[in-house]
């Protein structure tokens, strides 16, 4: 085969992986999008629509080609708080559109003002700890769906303790299906040629089994009504934008926090182009505002799905948006049958892998830098308890403190050198 032919074959292989990964992300976006919208008290449809146009727009501009920008639980919760403070109805599409638009404008202003530089100050230990806390929440959230056990509050250590403390609350049907799905995924994942298909294939198999056997497990349709078409253009409630300013800043911070955590998923990688990342998320929100979508930010779980399914480039995000649009328009009744335990156990696997990688990095800090390990432990503890906002504040504050101390040391050293040079200078005459 000629060199040109080999490059064509390689390009086809990469494209096929991107298509497969995009389909996997699209399938996961069904349950996650609807569930996260429900967590914030929004109609499930706006969670689904947040995984279509915003994902495609962000994929075009984001510097990290495998970062999926869509709705997350932290964004959904803060978005509801922002609307409540502005005395707006979360079921009003125009109010949601106004909030999404305002978040996009805030992000654009932050990018223009150079706020991305502040994110580059965050120490590696703090980035890794924040990423570990988000991974833990993904793991615990997956366990909740896999076992059928519900707990109040964020998916942190408290929720995990409540799941483990009362094994009698575990649904045997849910857990049984989850164990079966884990076995199917393990068999497929062990085969190099089938590894990229492991995630979507497991979900398809589980859906077929539940449909045929009518196994009594919760399905996606239980989360709310599923739309069967793309959204009509939405006009924001322009008069509400001024009152949404403070809340939009809070939502933007939560969204950018997720992007920061994604930047820490590859130890030793170069610092992300934060300014461009903020602009990409701003563009995604500005586009989503007119497409009936909730605000969006970097999603660690669906970015991890893209990587685990073999995604290679930004085409993964493009195909993810296309796949979800096709599922909504054509397969509305089918996606309503996706069993939540199958989604839960696979999210648990992804969260566990991410968490293990971050804890391995923490062990390295423990042997090489006690200060970095202490920072990791503090930020992770805050995030593990469900306080992602305070964890981000501590991370940024630590970065600023490190920069200030370093600048003070340089200034002190410069003054001392100047004084030494003056004292040793011989008098003239």
Higher confidence at residue 160 or residue 47? 47
Q: In angstroms, rounded to a whole number, what is the distance separating the alpha carbons of residues 122 and 271? A: 10
Query: Confidence class of residue 268 from pLDDT cuts 50, 70 and 90?
Result: very low
Query: Confidence class of residue 100 from pLDDT cuts 50, 70 and 90?
Result: very high
Instruction: Give the mean pLDDT of the chain.
Output: 82
Which range has the top average pLDDT, 10-19, 28-37, 182-191, 409-418? 182-191
In this structure, what token pair is assigned to residue 66? 């495998």
Q: What's the pLDDT score for residue 4?
A: 46
Q: What's the pLDDT score for residue 272?
A: 53
- 147 pLDDT more than 50: yes
Q: What's the pLDDT score for residue 237?
A: 92
Q: In angstroms, rounded to a whole number, what is the distance separating the alpha carbons of residues 189 and 1? A: 30
Q: In angstroms, rounded to a whole number, what is the distance separating the alpha carbons of residues 400 and 404? A: 6
Q: In angstroms, rounded to a whole number, what is the distance separating the alpha carbons of residues 138 and 133? A: 9
Of 288, 298, 296, nearest in space to 101 by CA: 288
**pLDDT tens figures, 299-350:** 888 888 888 888 888 889 999 999 999 988 887 678 888 898 998 888 888 8
The mean pLDDT of 57-61, rounded to a whole number, is 90
Q: What's the pLDDT score for residue 425?
A: 61
Q: In angstroms, rounded to a whole number, what is the distance separating the alpha carbons of residues 247 and 103? A: 9
Q: What's the pLDDT score for residue 267?
A: 42
- 164 pLDDT more than 80: no
Query: Confidence class of residue 50 from pLDDT cuts 50, 70 and 90?
Result: very high
Out of 82-96, 304-318, 408-422, which region has the weakest mean confidence (pLDDT)? 408-422
Q: Tokens 């929100």 sit at which residue?
A: 285
- 270 pLDDT more than 60: no
- 423 pLDDT more than 80: no
The mean pLDDT of 201-225, rounded to a whole number, is 88
What is the reported pTM? 0.78
Give just the sign of the alpha carbon dihedral 31, 32, 33, 38.
positive
- 156 pLDDT more than 70: no
The mean pLDDT of 230-255, rounded to a whole number, is 89
Query: Confidence class of residue 174 from pLDDT cuts 50, 70 and 90?
Result: very high
C-alpha distances in angstroms, 257 versus 99, 279, 281, 391, 395?
A: 18, 14, 12, 10, 10
- 165 pLDDT more than 80: no
Q: What's the pLDDT score for residue 385?
A: 78
Q: In angstroms, rounded to a whole number, what is the distance separating the alpha carbons of residues 98 and 344? A: 32
Q: What's the pLDDT score for residue 289?
A: 95
The mean pLDDT of 215-221, rounded to a whole number, is 88
- Please give the span between the terminal C-alpha atoms of the chain, in angstroms, as a whole number: 85
- 214 pLDDT more than 80: yes
**pLDDT tens figures, 66-80:** 789 999 877 888 898
Of 209, 232, 226, 203, nearest in space to 305 by CA: 203
The mean pLDDT of 147-176, rounded to a whole number, is 75
């Amino acid at each position: 085969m000629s060199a040109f032919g080999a490059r064509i074959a390689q390009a086809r292989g990469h494209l096929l992986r991107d298509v497969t990964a995009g389909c996997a992300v699209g399938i996961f976006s069904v349950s996650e999008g609807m569930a996260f919208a429900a967590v914030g008290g929004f109609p499930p449809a706006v969670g689904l629509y947040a995984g279509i146009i915003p994902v495609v727009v962000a994929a075009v501009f984001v510097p990290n080609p495998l970062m999926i920008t869509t709705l997350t639980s932290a964004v959904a919760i803060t978005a509801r708080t922002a609307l409540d403070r502005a005395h707006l109805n979360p079921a009003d599409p125009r109010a949601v559109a106004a909030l999404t638009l305002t978040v996009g404008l805030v992000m654009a202003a932050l990018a223009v003002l150079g706020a991305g530089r502040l994110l580059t100050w965050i120490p590696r230990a703090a980035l890794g700890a924040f990423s570990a806390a988000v991974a833990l929440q993904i793991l615990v959230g997956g366990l909740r769906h896999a076992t059928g056990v519900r707990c109040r509050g964020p998916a942190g250590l408290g929720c995990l303790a409540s799941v483990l403390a009362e094994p009698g609350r575990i649904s045997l049907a849910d857990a049984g299906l989850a164990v079966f799905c884990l076995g199917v995924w393990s068999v497929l994942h062990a085969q190099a040629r089938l590894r990229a298909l492991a995630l979507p294939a497991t979900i398809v198999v589980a859906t077929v089994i539940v449909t045929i056997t009518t196994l009594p497990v919760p399905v996606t349709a239980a989360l709310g009504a599923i739309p069967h078409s793309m959204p009509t253009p939405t006009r924001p409630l322009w008069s509400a934008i001024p009152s949404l300013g403070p809340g939009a800043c809070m939502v933007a911070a939560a969204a950018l926090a997720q992007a920061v955590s994604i930047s820490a998923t590859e130890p030793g990688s170069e610092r992300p182009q934060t300014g461009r990342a903020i602009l990409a998320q701003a563009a995604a929100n500005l586009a989503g505002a007119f497409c009936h979508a909730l605000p969006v930010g970097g999603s660690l779980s669906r970015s991890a799905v893209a990587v685990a399914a073999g995604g290679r480039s930004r085409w993964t995000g493009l195909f993810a948006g296309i796949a979800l649009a096709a599922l909504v328009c054509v397969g509305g009744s089918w996606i309503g049958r996706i069993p939540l335990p199958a989604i839960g156990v696979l999210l648990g696997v992804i969260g566990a892998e991410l968490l293990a990688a971050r804890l391995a990095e923490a062990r390295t800090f423990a042997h090489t830098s006690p200060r970095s390990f202490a920072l990791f432990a503090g930020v992770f503890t805050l995030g593990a308890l469900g306080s992602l906002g305070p964890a981000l504040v501590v991370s940024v504050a630590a970065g600023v403190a490190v920069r200030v101390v370093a600048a003070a040391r340089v200034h002190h050293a410069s003054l001392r050198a100047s004084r030494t040079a003056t004292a040793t200078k011989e008098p003239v005459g």
